């Protein structure tokens, strides 16, 4: 019998404004017995369940909480499928699946936030972004007005900022960047985040403190890489010294090559530096960087969905690839290869060289 019985009985009794004594009187039991049921200390005889369920006009399954358990299982299945579809780059399928999920579980704000994420990332063309505005606002307002879980509310604020930013870039969209800034002002500053604060919470628990710091290190490396990647509108304006310093930093912190959250950034940085070295006339180094980028992309594709870091600074930290950020569909290595082959900065002569072709064949 599920432990939910006591909680459910208490809720049902209070919904009818009954005391434990009055319910006990109807059932022919002592109020102490009802009190113990509600506290989960004991359970009624199985023959009593239909009587109690009938009294409250609910099913026995509902009384026991088994319907709640099944509901949670189904929600969990939807979430797992969402991450799988996202991991395969099937964002449109994820959106449609979640639309079905929220129609089945309209009050589940976690599913709503996932639906919002899939909705705004389904396509990038202007007509689509404008067409979903009412739906995005409906979902966002629902979460902000009724959800009491801060992590979900903040996540949807982040998604809304990204969406409004994209709309502000569309002529005559009626959206100004000031709308984004209003939401940003409501969000916590970086040092108030869970990952940062957790590193200070376990002064006397070496294991938990080490795990929190490992997670903090991994997340901070990724954030630093993202910030430097976003700093320049044109990647050719990026400071080579800082880019090279970032690569060295990640490699120093994670010498085993278990880059985790920063893996995709390593690929981006090597590609960027390769292009810049090529434009500077250093084709040899450019080829070396392109080779590193492709090898890293290939190793990411071959990585299992779940693995544990082994580098000392992040040792024991788990990384789930299926839930990690990605901007490509299908194979990461194929995406990098296509990107290199279509780089306008690289001449056709260079792309047709034996050295370049040899690198491309890595995949």
Query: What domains does the chain contain, in order, with CATH numbers?
Result: 4-64 (1.10.260.40), 71-187 (1.25.40), 195-360 (no CATH)
What is the structure's pLDDT at 2? 46
What is the structure's pLDDT at 3? 56
What is the structure's pLDDT at 218? 96
Q: Given pLDDT bands bounded at 50, 70 and 90, which one contains residue 123?
A: low
216-265, pLDDT tens digit by residue? 999 999 999 999 888 887 777 888 899 999 999 999 999 999 999 999 99
What is the structure's pLDDT at 150? 92
What is the structure's pLDDT at 60? 80
Q: Is the pLDDT of residue 27 over 60?
A: yes
What is the structure's pLDDT at 95? 92
Instruction: Please state the three-class secondary structure of the chain as a single string.
Output: CCCHHHHHHHHHHHHCCCCHHHHHHHHCCCHHHHHHHHHCCCCCCHHHHHHHHHHCCCCHHHHHCHHHHHHHHHHHHHHHHHHHHHHCCCHHHHHHHHHHHHHHCCCCHHHHHHHHHHHHHCCCCHHHHHHCHHHHHHHHHHHHHHCCCHHHHHHHHHHHHHHHHHHHCCCCCCCCHHHHHHHHHHCCCHHHCHHHHHHHCCCCCHHHHHHHHHHHHHHHHHHHHHHHHHHCCCHHHCCHHHHHHHHHHHHHHCCCCCCHHHHHHHHHHHHHHHHHHHHCCCHHHHHHHHHHHHHHHHHHHHCCCEEECCCHHHCCCEEEHHHCCCCCCCCHHHHHHHHHHCCCCCCHHHHCCHHHHHHHCCC
156-196, pLDDT tens digit by residue? 999 999 999 999 999 899 999 999 999 999 999 988 888 89
Share of the chain above pLDDT 70, in %: 97
Q: What is the mean pLDDT of residues 72-90?
A: 87
What is the structure's pLDDT at 133? 93
């Amino acid at each position: 019998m599920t432990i939910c019985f006591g909680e459910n009985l208490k809720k049902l009794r209070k919904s009818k404004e009954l005391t434990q004594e009055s319910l006990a009187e109807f059932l022919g039991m002592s109020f102490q017995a009802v009190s113990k049921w509600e506290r989960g200390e004991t359970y009624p005889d199985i023959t009593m369940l239909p009587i109690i369920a009938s009294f409250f006009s609910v099913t026995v399954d509902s009384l026991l909480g088994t319907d709640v358990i099944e509901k949670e299982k189904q929600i969990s299945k939807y979430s797992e499928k969402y991450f799988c579809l996202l991991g395969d780059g099937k964002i449109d399928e994820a959106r449609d699946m979640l639309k079905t999920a929220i129609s089945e579980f309209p009050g589940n704000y976690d599913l709503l936030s996932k639906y919002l994420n899939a909705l705004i990332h389904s396509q990038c063309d202007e007509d689509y972004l404008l067409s979903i505005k009412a739906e995005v606002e409906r979902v966002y307002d629902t979460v902000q007005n009724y959800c009491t879980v801060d992590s979900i509310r903040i996540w949807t604020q982040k998604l809304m900022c990204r969406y409004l930013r994209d709309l502000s870039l569309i002529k005559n969209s009626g959206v100004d960047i000031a709308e984004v800034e209003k939401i940003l002002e409501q969000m916590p500053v970086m040092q108030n985040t869970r990952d940062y604060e957790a590193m200070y919470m376990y002064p006397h628990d070496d294991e938990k403190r080490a795990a929190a710091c490992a997670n903090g290190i991994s997340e901070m490396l990724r954030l630093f890489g993202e910030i430097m990647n976003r700093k320049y509108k044109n990647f050719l304006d990026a400071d080579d010294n800082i880019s090279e310093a970032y690569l060295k930093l990640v490699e120093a912190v994670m010498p085993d090559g278990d880059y985790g959250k920063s893996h995709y950034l390593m690929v981006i940085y090597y590609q960027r530096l390769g292009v810049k070295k090529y434009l500077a006339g250093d084709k040899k180094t450019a080829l070396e960087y392109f080779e590193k980028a492709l090898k890293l992309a290939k190793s990411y594709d071959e990585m299992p969905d779940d693995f544990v870091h082994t580098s000392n600074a992040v040792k024991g930290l788990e990384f789930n690839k299926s839930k990690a950020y990605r901007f490509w569909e299908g194979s990461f290595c194929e995406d990098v290869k296509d990107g290199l082959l279509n780089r306008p900065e690289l001449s056709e002569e260079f792309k047709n060289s034996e050295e370049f072709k040899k690198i491309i064949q890595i995949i």
